[in-house]
Amino acid sequence: MLLDLILSSRLFNWFFGTMHGRDEREDVAPGRVLSALTLAVVAGCSGGCGGGGGGGGAPIMGIPTSAPTKEARSEQPIKPPPVCTVWLEGDSILNGSSPAGRLTEPPAAAIKRLRPAYTVTDRSMPGNYVTMRMPGFLAEIIDARFVVLEFGMNDGGNGFDYREPLRSMVQRVKALGKTPIVTGLSRVRGAPPWRDAYDALAHQVATEEGATFADWGAVPYSDADMADDVHPAQSYSTPLAEKIVRALDAVAPECAL
């Protein structure tokens, strides 16, 4: 065996016998011992380390070294796609309806055309007003990022309570972690005094609650753009939808595709 050969060699005796007898203060260099042991192993293997038979000795194994590692690539984190969803709550004006029927392109369809990235849920309904819609809305499970609240026309025309029910709806949207957008009131023929008063209440609630105010009252119109005294024709409804789109762009520019 190789170990027996090393132990019986003169080289071993010289280092661990003869050298032991020398002055103990004289240190043997570690490198010299290692070199000697290496020579002994080489000498033993030159005669054949295979133990039995023939020719070539086993290869001498070098000291293992770690394989070079490739530097990890610095990969940019995958950015999740933007959440572009909007939920519409309102009356016949947001619904795009009038006694003559529904518009060819109601606001929900116009928003989708102008901003294809959005998924639009249209929960508007002709004749709706806040005190009628509020109880059901407060229990609604809303799965959209933005909620548009368009009320006030039926409320103002009938003298219904408006500000606090609207506030409750805005607060519900915020409590769900969503972003409320209040439109205010569109224009009507004849400019009845209740229109401006209710529009001012909508603006007040939006400001106090930190909601986005789309300001439908700022959209230009003429009497020729009306289907009747209250309901917009297509030429007025589309700019109202564009106003909602601009409000969405302000809070979610990543969805403005």
Residue 9 structural domain = 2-21+30-46
Q: Which residues contact residue 144 at a Cβ distance below 8 angstroms, ignoring those fewer than 6 apart? A: 85, 86, 87, 119, 121, 178
Q: Does one domain contain both 108 and 6?
A: no
Residue 122 lies in a domain: yes
Looking at the structure, do residues 123 and 13 belong to the same domain, yes or no? no
CA–centroid distance for 217 within its chain:
34
Same domain, 176 and 225: yes
Whether 182 and 91 share a structural domain: yes
Same domain? 147 vs 200: yes
Distance CA 50, CA 2 (A): 10
Average of per-residue pLDDT across 169-193: 96
Helix (H) or strand (E) holding 13: helix 10-13
pLDDT of residue 103: 98
Measured distance CA(28)–CA(31) in Å, rounded: 9
Give the pLDDT confidence of 169-180 residue by residue, as tens digits. 999 999 999 999
214 and 90 both lie in a single domain: yes
- Which tens digit of pLDDT belongs to each residue from 40-95? 433 444 444 444 444 444 444 544 555 555 555 667 788 899 999 999 999 999 99
Residue 58 lies in a domain: no
89 with 204, same domain: the answer is: yes
User: Considering the domain boundaries, does residue 245 fall inside one?
Assistant: yes
DSSP SS3 for 85? strand
Of 129 and 32, more confident: 129
Band of pLDDT at residue 217, cut at 50, 70 and 90: very high
CATH number at residue 175: 3.40.50.1110
